[in-house]
Amino acid sequence: MKKTTKNTRRSFVKKLATGAAAAALLPTAATEAKNIQHLEWEKPSRRYSANDKIRVAAIGMGIMGFNNCNTTVKVPGVELVAVCDLYDGRLQRSKEVFGNQLFTTRNYEEIINRKDIDAVIVSTSDHWHDHISIAALKAGKAVYCEKPMVQHIDEGMAVVEAQRKSGKVLQVGSQGVSSLTQAKAKELYEQGAIGQLITVEAWNDRQSPMGAWQYSIPTDASEKTVDWARFQGDAPKHAYDPLRFFRWRNYRDYGTGVAGDLFVHLFSGLHNITSSVGPERIYCTGGLRYWKDGRDAADIMTALFDYPETKAHPAFNFQLRVNLISGTGGGSMTRLVGTDGVIELGWNQVTLRRNKVPTRPGYGGWDTLETFSEAQQKEYIEWYNKKYPPLPPQIEEPAEAIYKSPREFDDHLAHHTNFYDCIREGRTPVEDAVFGLRAAAPSLAANLSFYEGKVVKWDGEKMMMM
Ligand SMILES: NC(=O)c1ccc[n+]([C@@H]2O[C@H](COP(=O)([O-])OP(=O)(O)OC[C@H]3O[C@@H](n4cnc5c(N)ncnc54)[C@H](O)[C@@H]3O)[C@@H](O)[C@H]2O)c1
């Protein structure tokens, strides 16, 4: 599923001034519709024989487990052979959806010890990600692990090392990294479409019980149908509690809160677009304001991240917010703000707005000029026109261009396809363990900052706390 957006580093302005894009994107009424471009990609065309299959198993069959499996079985040459979960109803449902031939178990070791399984998809609650990924890599399996790659920063390097040692593919599941829109935003950014990057703003807001993770709890949930002891793993021990099992995100023992759940997608996007390795200073605040249903995780978090200058980008500041009671109906956006405009990355479109900082100061309007004596105003204008002679006429630059991802493009499928292509071709996936840790760590550092009331320092290059 190769994307066809090209990554030239030529000046965006030069391209506009000389190419067809200039005509296509002029912001007049007659050409307004042409401001919208539909992104293109190459559909995968390879076919595989029955004995050239990658055999995959899924560990964790909740919402994302089913999503991952539904997507993965669409990839040519992939067969889902086994699933593991800790609620019996989900094992039964797996057979209903994917067939009675599926091997099902509550014990993930029964899956990773099987020689005939090549890869596993880990879609458990966050507190199991590192344990299962490491065990699977050690057993020689490729791993597709949901985001955030780890629950705590200090678990990250062990996953990175396990991946390196095994030589197996590990893909982290922030599928937006495989989207056409992020590829386009990256291309625009690298072409210099917004000039020098100054700041980035991002948010992911929600306004519903489901959005605040109040998921349905089955009426047959009990200590018989749920493997509560196994679920708890290395988390602090509690008596069986269906809320903690089915709505684990709301509890810091098992989840990572809004930061690990949602900040991490926005970091993945930002790092993909800017080739950044992460911020060096992190400060986060927030609170539990509305969803007081027994949870101990915050429902609003707002954070600031200082990115140092690197070879890939100038120093910039990143402000990030997730609000589970936003009052707006919700929405998600990443906005890169530069000296020449902004790139706005929405759900399935990218908008480029050009707005250059004038290179000349100008005069008049909200200015001191009219406070000068009449004679001084005249003299000043004469002086100004000598200092700044009129410029030759220039090609008008487009004010706005919108790039849309076609409906039939599925970034989740592209992400899974990349995973299997990398297994077959021995390549590094788009979101490997190092990328996964660099996206997870600042999110988890935001949690540390908020809960411990401190500024956290992180070295994204060395992937360690400072
Ligand atoms: N990429 C995305 O867009 C996206 C979207 C939603 C969730 N996620 C991630 O997917 C993961 C799962 O989220 P969810 O919404 O599907 O949760 P969920 O509660 O619906 O499902 C989690 C499942 O994991 C199972 N599980 C827990 N520990 C296990 C273990 N040791 N062995 C086997 N099974 C175990 C539970 O039984 C449960 O059924 C999370 O890490 C979440 O952050 C990613």
Could you read off the pLDDT of 157-187 as tens digits, one per residue?
999 999 999 999 999 999 999 999 999 999 9
Kindly list the distances between the CA atom of residue 310 and the CA atoms of 9, 11, 99, 277, 446, in Å, as whole numbers in the listed order: 17, 20, 51, 9, 22
The atom of ligand 1 lying closest to the CA of 248 is 19
The predicted structure's pLDDT at residue 47: 83
Largest CA distance in the chain: 93
**Structural domains of the chain, ranges and CATH numbers in brackets:** 12-41+181-234+241-358+394-422+429-465 (3.30.360.10), 54-176 (3.40.50.720)
The predicted structure's pLDDT at residue 3: 53
Whose C-alpha lies nearest to ligand 1, atom 11? 123
Whose C-alpha lies nearest to ligand 1, atom 2? 174
The predicted structure's pLDDT at residue 33: 54
CA-closest candidate to residue 438, choices 412, 456, 418, 460: 460
Beta bridge partners of 79: 55
158 CA from centroid of ligand 1 (Å): 21
The predicted structure's pLDDT at residue 245: 98
Kindly list the distances between the CA atom of residue 391 and the CA atoms of 229, 259, 359, 367, 400, in Å, as whole numbers in the listed order: 75, 49, 11, 22, 24
The predicted structure's pLDDT at residue 17: 41
What stretches in the chain show pLDDT beneath 70?
Answer: 1-34, 397-398
Cα 307 to the chain's mean position, in Å?
Answer: 17
Whose C-alpha lies nearest to ligand 1, atom 25? 60
Give the binding-site residues of ligand 1, using a 6 Å CB cut-off.
59-65, 84-87, 90, 108, 123-126, 128, 146-147, 173-175, 230-231, 248, 261
Beta bridge partners of 205: 323, 331
The predicted structure's pLDDT at residue 347: 84
Claim: this prediction has a pTM higher than 0.85: yes
